[in-house]
Amino acid sequence: FIMANGRSGNPTIDRGKSFYMFRDALLEICRDLSFQIVKDGEGATKVIRIIVRNADSESFGKDVARRVANSNLVKTAIYGEDPNFGRIIAAIGTLSDRVREDIDVSVGEEVVIKDGRVVKFDRKKAKEKLKKDTVEIVIDLKDGNKEVEFLTSDLTEDYVVINSRYTT
C-alpha cells in the first residue's frame, strides 16, 4: 500500500540515486499490476502486448496502439492463434492519413509485414508462438523516435458467456 499526501512531514526525495531507485521500483510494481489486471480479464486466456515503435509522438503512438488493442477482430485472431496481419493492418488503417506505407509489423515474434509489404513467413511456426500466454504485436511506424506499449487481452467465448449472463 502506498500513499503520498504530504501529511507525514517526511522530507521530499531529491532527484538523485534514491529518487531514481524508488521511481524505478514503483514503475515496475505498476507494470506488474497492470499486467495482472489484464491477465485476469473476464474469460481472458492471453495477454496481448502491443508495442508501437518510432512514432512521431507519444500521442500518435498511443492512438495506433489503442486502435489495435480495441479491435475485437485482432483479439479474436490472437485467441484463435491466427497471425492474421490483415486485422492488425485494418485497425491501423483507421488512421491511414497519418501512417506511412512502409511500416513493419510482427506478430508473436514473426515478421509479417516488412516495408509495407506482406512477407512470406512460416504460418505453422507463427501459430505455435501464438500459443503462449503472452503474445507481442510490434508495429514500427518509422516516423519518429517515440515508443508506446499497450496491454490488452484476447476475446473468448467465455467473455461472451460471462457478459451475456450478467444482469443489473
Tens-place pLDDT, residues 44-78: 999 999 999 999 999 999 999 999 999 999 999 99
When mean pLDDT is compared across 5-9, 15-19, 156-160, the lowest value belongs to: 5-9
Tens-place pLDDT, residues 104-146: 999 988 999 999 999 999 989 999 999 999 999 999 999 999 9
What is the model's pLDDT at position 160? 93
Nearest to 74 by CA among 59, 57, 90: 90
The answer to whether 157 and 51 are in contact (CB under 8 A) is no
H runs (alpha helix) in the chain: 17-39, 58-69, 72-79, 85-93, 123-129, 157-164
User: Domain spans of the chain?
Assistant: 17-164
Q: Which of the 8 DSSP states describes residue 6?
A: S
> Would you say the pTM of this structure is higher than 0.85?
yes
CATH 3.10.20.340 fits 17-164, yes or no: yes
Strand partners, 138: 51, 106
